[in-house]
């Protein structure tokens, strides 16, 4: 069995209303499909069928159908040339790329965590003192109220700043360094997990993500 493939997070997870709730590794998805009772499995695999064109290529833009399939039927699905496959001593099993959690109907939310990446994304790579777009390499984190003066590592006290401006400000308050913030820093909004998945890790995900 291809152990490297089993650890790939290429399986999109949907709730029972077919809303995106995250992603799983192939191993996690296979365990979910093969668990529970026959009448109430924790997950179903989504059999996504595509039309074949005259030149024998496949049209992945418009699925023919999306059919939820239980494990005992999933292992009987034909393996197409574009499918990932896991093999046992007796079977070649198509790897699911989308699964539906049959017993979960909520929409999980992603609470933002304070990090360099989160501050950069919130401020769009723009120096919050000069308004200049400095990108990842031209800027860094600045504590509006310096840490040695009681400033915290929080969204409300961290901004993206041009490196030269940050060095000039040092451990002073903005007004002490002759600087003014473009806007008051705030905590980013809590978002559904689906909104945080920016890039599909498999082409089948495109039918469920808003990109």
pLDDT at site 195: 72
Per-residue pLDDT tens for 36-47? 665 678 899 999
The dihedral sign for the CA sequence 11, 195, 183, 155 = negative
User: pLDDT tens, 142-161?
Assistant: 999 999 999 999 999 999 99
User: Which residues sit opposite 204 in a β-bridge?
Assistant: none
Closest CA to 43 of 64, 24, 63, 62: 24
Three-class secondary structure of residue 175 per DSSP? helix
For the cut 70, the answer to whether the pLDDT of residue 114 exceeds it is yes
At 122-144, the pLDDT tens digits run: 999 999 999 999 999 999 999 99
Q: Where in the chain is the domain with CATH 1.10.30.50?
A: 116-177
Residue 86, pLDDT > 90, answer yes
Please give the model's pTM, rounded to 2 decimal places.
0.67
C-alpha pair distances (Å), 113 with each of 3, 9, 187: 32, 22, 9
Tokens of 156: 């409300």
Considering the domain delimited by 116-177, tell me its CATH architecture. Answer: Orthogonal Bundle (1.10)
């Amino acid at each position: 069995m291809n152990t490297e493939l089993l650890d790939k997070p290429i399986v999109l997870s949907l709730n029972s209303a077919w809303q995106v709730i995250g992603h799983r590794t192939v191993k996690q998805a296979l365990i979910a499909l093969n668990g529970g009772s026959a009448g109430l499995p924790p997950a179903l695999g989504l059999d996504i069928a595509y039309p074949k064109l005259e030149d024998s290529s496949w049209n992945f833009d418009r699925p023919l159908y999306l059919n939820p399939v239980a494990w005992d039927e999933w292992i009987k699905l034909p393996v197409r040339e574009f499918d990932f496959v896991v093999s046992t001593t007796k079977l070649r099993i198509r790897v699911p790329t989308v699964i539906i959690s049959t017993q979960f109907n909520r929409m999980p939310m992603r609470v933002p965590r304070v990090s360099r990446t989160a501050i950069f994304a919130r401020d769009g790579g723009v120096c919050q003192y000069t308004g200049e777009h400095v990108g990842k390499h031209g800027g860094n984190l600045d504590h509006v109220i310096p840490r040695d003066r009681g400033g915290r590592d929080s969204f409300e006290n961290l901004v993206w700043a041009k490196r030269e401006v940050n060095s000039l400000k040092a451990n002073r308050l903005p007004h002490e360094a002759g600087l003014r913030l473009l806007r008051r820093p705030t905590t980013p909004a809590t978002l559904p997990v689906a909104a945080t998945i920016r890039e599909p890790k498999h082409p089948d995900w495109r039918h469920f993500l808003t990109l």
